[in-house]
């Protein structure tokens, strides 16, 4: 049964926060889910710029149930979190916040649903195992992608970046996950033996040097970007006849786990009639997805 009084009142307000946020698809996904569940909950998109999260959090009342976070807030929220799940703790990235009243005080519990979303989206695309993975980029989503590689059984991860020092924390994260991480810039041929390539780069990025043709022909590319589409990297893959998956699947599945958190307070607890909920969310996303769409990258933080 859904607990409608997490905060001692009818807590039914939710929102996705970030900047830019105007074209976010999260409201479409979440509203479809709550309609399917028969819940009269609101879910909005709220512009919150970097440095403004503390002010927003101080302004909300007990009618608020939870928050989805996108760029640039996934790190900024960390000082305000009372507790977080293992994935958020390891990646240092929170994209979901559950608001509750505990012992007379408000508490914020943080979750990272990006890893589960990415794992599920890859499985839908036929990728359930990978021994050697290449990551493109070193933003916050790269940490989630690295943890995804570990979930798929990867033993070795090549990370290609422009700024090598920025990517150094991924080496430490790899050690904690039992994965060997190698850093290199885009000028070399790193990752040529990979089974899977995950791009966390902005959709309009053009690589300074095309990745090896053999890699593009053989390895599946999962691009967390979905707008503009195809991305620069996806175009390179398609020109080589390779397999490409875009980020809409990740957006869909990470949102489903968020709905679990907001409804059941447990990311591992299936929703009532969950297959129908997922179908309703997928339908809403499909109706909204148009060629050349310029919607925001809800699942991605740069």
DSSP 254-290: HHHHHHHHHHHS-TTSPPTTHHHHHHHHHHHHHHH--
CB 25, CB 295: distance < 8 Å: yes
* Cα–Cα distance measured from residue 115 to residue 8, given in angstroms and rounded to the nearest whole number: 31
Q: Which band of pLDDT confidence, cut at 50, 70 and 90, is reported for residue 125? A: very high
Do the domains spanning 13-113+255-288 and 115-248 agree at the CATH topology level? yes
Q: Which of 19-23, 103-107, 247-251, 293-297 has the lowest mean pLDDT?
A: 293-297
Give the list of residues 6+ apart from residue 290 with CB closer than 8 angstroms, or none: none
Is the distance from CB of 18 to CB of 69 less than 8 angstroms? yes
Max alpha carbon distance in the chain (Å)?
60
Q: What is the pLDDT of residue 294?
A: 39
CATH of 115-248 among 3.40.50.720, 3.40.950.10, 3.40.630.30, 3.50.50.60 = 3.40.50.720
Position 103 confidence tier, pLDDT thresholds 50, 70, 90 = low
**pLDDT for the residue numbered 64:** 95
DSSP bridge partners of 102: 105
In tens, the pLDDT along 191-234 reads 678 999 999 998 778 888 888 999 999 999 999 988 888 999 99
CB 297 within 8 A of CB 227: yes
Q: What is the Cα–Cα distance from 35 to 261, expressed in whole angstroms?
A: 16
Q: What's the alpha-carbon Rg for the chain, to the nearest Å?
A: 19
Cβ neighbourhood burial of 186 (10 Å; 0-12, 13-18, 19+)? middle
Q: Please state the domain extents for the chain.
A: 13-113+255-288, 115-248
Mean pLDDT lowest among 39-43, 51-55, 150-154, 199-203: 199-203
Instruction: Provide the pLDDT confidence category of residue 71 given band limits of 50, 70 and 90.
Output: confident
Give the pLDDT score at 302.
35
- Number of Cβ within 10 Å of residue 210's Cβ equals 14
- CA distance readout (Å), 55 to 49, 71, 80, 171, 285: 11, 17, 12, 34, 31
Examine the pLDDT at 293 and tell me if it is beyond 50: no
Q: Is 131 a catalytic residue?
A: no
Predicted local confidence at residue 228, as pLDDT: 82
**So what's the pLDDT on residue 301?**
36
pLDDT of residue 292: 40
Asked if residue 102 has pLDDT above 70, the reply is no
Neighbouring C-alpha atoms within 13 Å toward the C-beta of 11:
25
Of the candidate ranges 15-29, 121-135, 186-200, the one whose mean pLDDT is the lowest: 186-200
| Residue 295: pLDDT over 80 | no
Average pLDDT for 22-43: 95
- Going 262 to 40 to 30 to 22, the CA torsion angle's sign is negative
Quote the CA–CA distance of 174 and 251 in Å, as a whole number: 24
Q: Is the pLDDT of residue 278 over 70?
A: yes
CATH architecture of 13-113+255-288: 3-Layer(aba) Sandwich (3.40)
Please tell me which residue in 22, 49, 74, 131 is annotated as part of the active site.
74
């Amino acid at each position: 049964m859904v607990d409608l009084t997490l905060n001692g009142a009818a807590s039914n307000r939710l929102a996705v926060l970030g900047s830019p946020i105007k074209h976010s698809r999260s409201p479409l996904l979440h509203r479809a889910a709550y309609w399917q569940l028969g819940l009269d909950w609101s879910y909005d998109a709220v512009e919150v710029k970097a440095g403004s999260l503390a002010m927003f959090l101080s302004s909300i009342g007990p009618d608020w149930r939870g928050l989805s976070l996108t760029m640039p807030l996934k790190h900024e929220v960390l000082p305000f979190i009372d507790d977080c799940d293992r994935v958020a703790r390891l990646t240092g990235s929170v994209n979901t916040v559950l608001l509750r009243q505990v012992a007379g005080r408000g508490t914020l519990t943080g979750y990272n649903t990006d890893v589960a979303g990415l794992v599920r989206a890859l499985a839908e695309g036929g990728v359930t195992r990978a021994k050697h993975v290449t990551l493109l980029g070193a933003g916050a989503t790269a940490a989630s992608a690295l943890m995804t590689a570990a979930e798929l059984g990867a033993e070795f991860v090549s990370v290609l970046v422009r700024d090598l020092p920025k990517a150094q924390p991924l080496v430490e994260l790899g050690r904690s996950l039992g994965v060997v991480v190698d850093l290199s810039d885009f000028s070399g041929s790193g990752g040529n033996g990979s089974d899977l390539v995950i791009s966390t780069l902005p959709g309009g990025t053009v690589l300074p040097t095309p990745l090896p043709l053999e890699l593009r022909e053989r390895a599946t590319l999962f691009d967390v970007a979905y707008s503009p589409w195809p991305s620069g990297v996806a175009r390179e893959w398609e020109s080589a006849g390779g397999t490409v998956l875009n980020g809409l699947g990740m957006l869909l599945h990470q949102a489903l786990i968020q709905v679990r958190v907001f409804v059941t307070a447990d990311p591992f607890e299936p929703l009532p009639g969950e297959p129908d909920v997922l179908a309703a969310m997928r339908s809403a996303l499909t109706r909204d997805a148009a060629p050349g769409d310029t919607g925001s990258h809800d699942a991605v933080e740069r």
